[in-house]
Chain A
Amino acid sequence: MSDAIIQFVDVVKSFGTQRILDRVNFSIPTGKTTVIAGGSGQGKSVTLKLILGLLKAESGKILVDGVDITGVGRKEMNRMRTYFGVLFQGAALLDSLSVFDNVALPLVERTSLAGSEIRERVLGTLDQLGLAGSEDKFPAQLSGGMKKRVGLARALQLQPKIMLFDEPTTGLDPEKSMEIYQLFHRTQQQFGYTSVIVSHDIPKIFNLADQVVILNRGKVNAFASPEDIPRSEDPDIKEFVKKTMGDVYLSREMEYAP
């Protein structure tokens, strides 16, 4: 696939005797939103960490913009990581820094921008994400939804080509989850990044998806669109649909029809 920004080729990853990914192949198209779904312990977060180079694959290739990151050194990996923005499950804000300092961190550490310019950019992003006036607060003083927005603001500072979201709505109520999804949609329109979302918020998360990758027992099933999932003949996928979407689920149009 020539327009794929990330490609997994025969990737194998195990922990001890447990094989999490078994010769996995799939591609993530540029500029689109790919949702990685699957049950607990099926390797969703492991897949994200492999993309980020935080874990090493035992064999196979992971191509990011054509570069196989499984064979690169620390320095090259650091360069590759500038492609990514990451929103972690718990937002992973640095506890000892204020909201402003958290969001400014990538700019302070990775650019030579002047302090005034950094301030302007950070306050601008906070304003865009509905966080104006929160810059002096500390992570412990924020709600779950606010933490996610601060995490998103921080991840967007270096204008990444690829945004990775790890269970972005875990711990949020349905209203806040919807707000976060709308925020993803809006920022993706604005910044044009490729989005990879690991989530178990099914079927809601499929509203955002252009492509869905389902991980199950170390194998991958990729679907060009969420509507294709219930039509799958694979017994494992049928079981997955039944468990996560319910028997009556046919399409996202039906699910969200007024």
Chain B
Amino acid sequence: MLYQAIERLGNSALYQTRDLGRMGRYLLLSLLGVFKRPFRFNELLRQIRLIGAHSFVVIFFTGAFTGMVLGLQGYYTLRKFGADGVLGSAVALSLIRELGPVLTALMVTGRAGSAMCAELGIMRNSEQIDALECMSVDPFRYLITPKFLATLIAVPLLTLIFNVVGIYGGYLAGVILLDGNPGAYFVSMEHSVVNKDINLGIIKSFVFGLLIVWICTGRGYFVHKIRNAGFGAEAVSKVTTQAVVMTSIAILVWDYLLTAMLL
């Protein structure tokens, strides 16, 4: 009994170590794909459209309503202390430093990360990735690297859109609907938001973009090697769910770590 438990523990540790090594090597090969020729520029543009442009609507609405809720809550809370004049600063700092990067990353994970994971999982199961390898076409350069670059470009841009839309959402709720001071909203923002805040948000969005594309594409690419995932469509479904959950947790953990390191 004890022997079996130790064996299970050992097997699990070995599997986790192998998995980590595999994912580390995967990240390296995906990034090195940037230097391999021919570079697939058209595919990069297509991926930016799929990951970035197609996420615009969801980011717009998430940003708008997040900003509106911040404006609403902020207005009533700050008013209790007679500080409703700093509403703009509170909304902008919350969005730029925390909510913008985190919520954008979570929305992109749900929309584009899951799609990338499922796409690669299906390609693996239907031997399309094997077929590329058999034609001596590097699957990293051909399939993965354009997704990496596109996500690293799209996520920071979407975060900036989220922030801008959110700030105007806060203005709509806190100033137009609740009759706040329009001048104070933007002036307080201008006084309190500094370059360091914007840089922190951008660094976070880059790191989150990397986490999204690394975990989501990596799990799909190795769908056949993931323990207890099953086979075929069931494996793709399980691994896609797993990828979204893992990425979401990784985003929240790294959000704390980056805030602690860079604040």
Q: What residue in chain A is nearest B125 (Cβ atoms)?
A: A90
Q: Which of B38, B131, B136, B142 contacts A78 (CB 8 A)?
A: B136
Other contacts beyond A92-B128, A110-B135: 7, CB < 8 A: A52-B134, A81-B134, A93-B128, A94-B123, A106-B135, A109-B136, A109-B137
Interface centre among B132, B136, B138, B142 (most CB of A within 10 A): B136
Instruction: Pick from B38, B127, B138, B142: contact of A92, CB below 8 A.
Output: B127
CB-based contact A81/B131 at 8 Å: no
Complex Cα spacing A52 to B135, Å: 10
Residue pair B126, A90 in contact (C-beta under 8 Å): yes
The 5 closest A-B pairs by CB, nearest first: A92-B131, A92-B127, A78-B136, A86-B134, A81-B136
Task: Tell me if B7 counts as interface (CB < 8 A to partner A).
Answer: no
- Contacting B at CB under 8 A, from A73-132, are 78-79, 81-82, 84, 86, 88-90, 92-95, 105-106, 109-110
- Tell me if A54 is interfacial: C-beta within 8 Å of chain B: yes
Interface positions of A (Cβ within 8 A of B): 49, 52, 54, 78-79, 81-82, 84, 86, 88-90, 92-95, 105-106, 109-110, 154, 158
**Contacts of A110 on B, CB cut-off 8 Å?**
135-137
Chain B residues numbered 103-153 whose CB sits less than 8 Å from any CB in chain A: 122-123, 126-128, 130-138, 142
- Tell me which residues across on chain A come within 8 A of B142, comparing CB atoms: 109
Measured CB to CB, the closest approach of chain A to B24, in angstroms, equals: 17
Q: How far is the CA of A132 from the CA of B119 in the complex (A)?
A: 29
Chain B interface (Cβ within 8 Å of chain A)?
Answer: 38, 122-123, 126-128, 130-138, 142
* Contact of B127 with A89 in the complex, beta carbons under 8 Å: yes
- The prevalent SS among residues of A at the interface is mixed
In Å, the complex CA distance between A89 and B127 comes to 9
19 A-B contacts (beta carbon < 8 Å): A54-B133, A54-B134, A81-B133, A81-B134, A86-B131, A89-B127, A90-B127, A92-B127, A92-B128, A92-B130, A93-B131, A94-B131, A95-B122, A95-B126, A105-B137, A106-B135, A109-B38, A109-B136, A110-B137
Q: Which residues of A contact B130 (CB under 8 A)?
A: 49, 52, 54, 88, 92
Question: Are B128 and A95 interface neighbours, CB within 8 A?
Answer: yes
- Are A84 and B137 in contact, with the CB atoms below 8 A? no
By a CB distance below 8 angstroms, the chain B residues around A84 are: 134
Q: A residues within 8 A CB of B134?
A: 52, 54, 81, 84, 86
Which residue of chain B has the shortest Cβ distance to A157 in the bound complex? B135
